[in-house]
Amino acid sequence: METEGLFAPETASAARERYDALGPSAQTVVKEVTRAMEFDAAEYDDRVSSAVVETARDALFASMLEVRVGTREEFDEWRDSTDCALTVEGSDNVDNVVWHVAPFADEVVAATYNEKRRAAVDTLRRQAFGRIYREVV
């Protein structure tokens, strides 16, 4: 089993603090992307709303969530050691699982995958954000 990512907030407050701290980074990312797309000031003002920056912040937050990546056996062994509520997306008949534990919510979100680890990790992070963190932050 491997772990990747930067954080798994222990508390709802810690999740909110991290999310809030990402605000300036999200604004910078949006500005740099629109600069690369050669937006002039008028187009920037017309197309970049607070919703665009918020979406960038959501994506940054989700992309940093800590996830565990392992075989089905490793996941099953880990699952037997927790009482957290568990949501698993995907098939029971594949060899690999990626999962995120949100300790403050007593919740785990998992996804199964066969070969495309990066896609599974990215998808899981978005699902974890939507299912666990969106209401918290």
List, edge to edge, every strand of the sheet that includes 2-4. 2-4, 67-71, 96-102, 107-113, 85-89
The pLDDT profile of the chain, 137 residues, written as one tens digit per residue, is 999 999 999 999 999 999 999 999 999 999 999 999 999 999 999 999 999 999 999 999 999 999 999 999 999 999 999 999 999 999 989 999 999 999 999 999 999 999 999 999 999 999 999 999 999 99
The residue extents of the domains of the chain are 2-7+66-133, 12-62
Chain centroid to CA 34: 23
pTM score, whole prediction: 0.92
Instruction: Check if the beta carbon of residue 11 is closer than 8 Å to that of residue 33.
Output: no
Secondary structure of 85-125 in HEC code, one letter for each residue: EEEEECCCCCCEEEEEEEHHHCEEEEEEECCCHHHHHHHHH
